[in-house]
A and B are shown apart, each in its own frame.
Chain A
Amino acid sequence: MSDPTTTPGARPLLEIKNLEVGFQSSDGIIPAVRGVDLTLMAGQTLAIVGESGSGKSTTASAIINLLPGAGRITGGSILFDGKELTNYSTKQMEDIRGREIGYVPQDPMSNLNPVWSVGFQVEETIRANGIATGRKAVREHAIQVLREAGLQDADKRLKQFPHQFSGGMRQRVLIGIGLSSRPKLLIADEPTSALDVTVQRRILDHLETLTRDIGTAVLFITHDLGLAAERAEQLVVMYKGRIVEAGPSREILENPLHPYTQRLVAAAPSLASRRILSATQESATHSLSDLDYAPTTVTEGIDLIAAAEERVERERAGGAAPTRRPDAIVVNDLTKVYKIRGQGKGSAGEITAADHVSFAVEKGTTTAIVGESGSGKSTVAKMILKLEQPTSGQILIDGVDVAPLKGRSLLDLRRRLQPVFQDPYGSLNPLRNIGNTIAEPLLVHKAGDHASRRARVLELLDQVALPQSLITRYPNELSGGQRQRVAIARALALKPDIVVLDEAVSALDVLVQAQILKLLAELQSELELTYLFITHDLAVVRVIADNVCVMQKGRIVEAASTDEVFDHPQEQYTKELLNAIPGAGIALGV
């Protein structure tokens, strides 16, 4: 099968054999891709899945020799359309790029040159690849490219600059550029990771239609297993620079054989929410623990179902009694209006970030606020944390209006209400060691003496499963997930009742994310915490939350229990969001 000479007529479009890529450093060459084999037939879509550092992007960059500065191909061969690309000269490679292999980069915000108009950047591609010549022909072709990419009034759009485009529109431009010369192969490196889920879905649908029409093969790089399975026939899973598993997508998802793939399947939120969904639909009495995917030791601590289970068990322990516990947080008609400086003459405009938002969070439960960027979800969180002043409306914490709180009583509120923020690299002061960071809340609230504070810090490190030796270490020695653990420990230092998690797991790799979600679930049952969970990721919500508020443009459009929202969404917007969860289209035989 793998030998093209024995199967005439089925020569692969791309055949990578034993590819080795290394990065030159002062300590010699550090390998990034180790012996990768990969075959892609014309018109096919293949996805490479892996975490950051797995070598998936490096493999893709190596094909068109776009490796960053110190990267070198150190071995193996890349056969594209019968041509050996590894010994191509710079000039030859320029002819391949764009013309025969298109490229769509990851972040639409940084991949268009801000000083040139969009039309200029499309036109120069057309000219460089010899698709059209002459001013007029090039211009017409550019309009056609943008129109194909799905931009309305493409001819007017040509003159505009990238900053006048939204992220989704910029990505459409980049896709248009990548496909402008009808290449045989398109390399799409996480093309929609930076976009909102609904935009992501529309753009990927569009990309699929385009490439099918042109007959372009797609090499799709992503960290999202659900997304990969949904968009590609073939799947390649990479781990530490090697391929650990490859094959048809459905087959791999249903029957992962390599322990690493099993881990990924267990940890992917999009798949977990599917699994929970199919279980609850199957039977109401079905216990979640029956869902446990192939309970092997490799998935321990990272199976998302385990986190969800913790929640269900906690509910049961709370007694089947229908008596509602008191509300920890009550928000009434909360509104926040930002004044912004308008265009040109300094006229002031207004943006309503939160528009009459009302909801309540029962003690000991988790409520998720879900929304896309600009929905106002973080603004609500900041107002509850009293980091922003509401324009109007009321916030009650344990029945007490927080608006008039000052001094001593405000400090008391802060003790009971703690946040964990998104960016693991920005959430800790890089110049203070872990011990001082966790102890700061204790110090500010004058809790105990030096010895008891130290003891508390050690206890907290245990609680978040970090070694005590970290106490004298600095944040830059830790990974993103470990930093989030420290941030959680700091939030728990004062034994709060309520924790506001503002996208606290969004920036983490899936396995680490699953681990942190499980930790959060355990801490919740152990310490009877109330969580307000802010996120853009509906899939994660399914795993962790009891209730959901869906926000759009500053308003709550739908609020109900998680099961209700997932099983019987009322609003069109909620349905769109649910449909946009990657992997939603896959029928999983759990």
Chain B
Amino acid sequence: MSNNTPTRGPGHFVAPLEETPLVAVDAIKLDERKSNLWIDAWRDMRRRPMFWISAVIILLVIFVAFFPTLFTQVPPNDDCQLANSNGAPTGEHILGFTKQGCDIFSRIVHGTATSLSVGIIVTILTTVLGILFGAFAGFYGGWLDSVLSRAGDIFFSIPYILAAVVIMSVFSAYRNVFVISLAIGIFAWPATARVLRAEILRVKQSDYVMAAQAVGVSNFRILLRHVLPNSIAPVIVVTTISLGAAIVAEATLSFLGVGLPNSTMSWGNDISAAQVDLRTAPQTLIYPSLALSITVLAFIMMGEVIRDALDPKARAQR
């Protein structure tokens, strides 16, 4: 550097122009690829192994739920023999038998649809309610916000599994997938609503919302076109994670005996039934638990991956 520091010190130093050639002020440099929040998030996600692992598990679970017979030829219930009670694995029955002498693997495969449907119905319910309550409360504010938020507070103050226990006790005569999903979802939505409301309050302050108002865009259109799309990212994260939580909730209710009737095949019921034989036949408990946990883990991992991909702050933190 000695060649370009001739007048350093009290003198007047000027760097040679070749060293830092001037660039046009505010020149436009465009990447060849387009980029916005969603495109960037997708690019970010597909580089992560965790995304692919959870995506494969989730797709597999969905596939098993729709086509259980592709995975096992053994009927889950019709072929049970008490002689096989808690029996060890044999060639065709790779995971062994339940207390009733049913094939564990087949029951897990056929129970997938139940757990997944509860997860999906609950998620749809909480998302719809959460978006309605959160969006209107956050966007319109004022007395509407007060009313909706207080309602949310009340629902939020009853832990949703306890609420579901009460509902399922009252509706003990109508225990099916829909009722149990409703019982879980009706008290689980405030979490989604709160997240969305907070985000909308933030986005609502943006200058582009004011610019749209100044152009004369109607309030409802501003909500749909500008505010909601920019507030939805954290809702997607919450939704993905809550799908896993809903599956756990169903299993917990079934475990407590207020979930689905024993005739319905579900992982929760199988785990519940296995608890008495924990000492003698731990496999009857462990395999359905494993199926449940891996599925839930996949959804939670997916939620985390999406969160990291959508939130540049979280990305910088890793």
Contacts and interface: CB of A to CB of B under 8 A. Distances in A.
Contact of A252 (B12, B30, B214): B12
A441 B217 CA distance: 8
A586 interface: no
A417 B7 CA distance: 55
Contacts of B214: 385-387, 414, 417-419
A474 B30 CA distance: 10
B211 A419 contact: yes
Interface stretch (A159-167, A239-247, A336-344): A239-247
B314 to A, nearest CB: 15
Given A260-B20, A298-B22, A515-B25, A427 B9 contact: no
B172 interface: no
B70 interface: no
Interface string B193-232: 0000000000001111011111111000000011001100
Contacts of A387: 210, 213-214
Interface stretch (B32-40, B79-87, B132-140, B163-171): B32-40
A166 to B, nearest CB: 23
Nearest to B316: A69
Contacts of A430: 36-37, 230
A431 B13 CA distance: 47
Q: Which 6 A-B pairs have the closest CB atoms?
A: A247-B12, A421-B207, A474-B36, A1-B9, A414-B216, A427-B207
Contact of B1 (A37, A298, A467): A37
B26 interface: yes
A35 to B, nearest CB: 5
A277 interface: no
Interface in A423-480: 423, 426-433, 440-441, 444-445, 466-467, 469-470, 472-479
B215 A441 contact: yes
A259 B15 contact: no
Given A243-B15, A302-B25, A490-B211, 18 more contacts: A2-B5, A39-B9, A240-B20, A240-B23, A242-B20, A244-B19, A251-B12, A263-B22, A419-B210, A421-B210, A427-B208, A428-B208, A429-B226, A430-B37, A431-B37, A441-B215, A469-B30, A477-B35
Contacts of A587: none
Nearest to A299: B25
B interface majority secondary structure: loop
A246 B205 CA distance: 43
Given A243-B13, A244-B15, A430-B230, A476 B210 contact: no
A410 B34 contact: no
B151 to A, nearest CB: 22
Contacts, number: 155
A551 interface: no
A35 B212 CA distance: 47
7 contacts: A1-B10, A247-B7, A259-B17, A415-B216, A479-B26, A490-B215, A515-B26
B162 to A, nearest CB: 33
A422 interface: yes
A472 B34 contact: yes
A512 interface: yes
B78 interface: no
Interface in A223-263: 239-240, 242-248, 251-252, 255, 257-260, 263
A487 B230 contact: no
A18 interface: yes
A541 interface: no
A238 to B, nearest CB: 9
A428 B37 CA distance: 13
A411 interface: yes
B8 A39 contact: yes
A397 to B, nearest CB: 13
A257 B6 CA distance: 15
B8 A37 contact: yes
A428 to B, nearest CB: 6
B30 A473 contact: yes
A478 B29 CA distance: 8
A476 B36 contact: yes
A431 to B, nearest CB: 5
A477 B26 contact: no
B12 A260 contact: no
B217 A440 contact: yes
A33 to B, nearest CB: 12
Contacts of A491: 211
A410 B206 CA distance: 22
Given A246-B8, A473-B34, A426 B14 contact: no
Nearest to A469: B30
A411 B214 CA distance: 9
Nearest to A260: B22
A11 B52 CA distance: 61
Contacts of A472: 34
A387 B212 CA distance: 11
B207 A423 contact: yes
B318 to A, nearest CB: 11
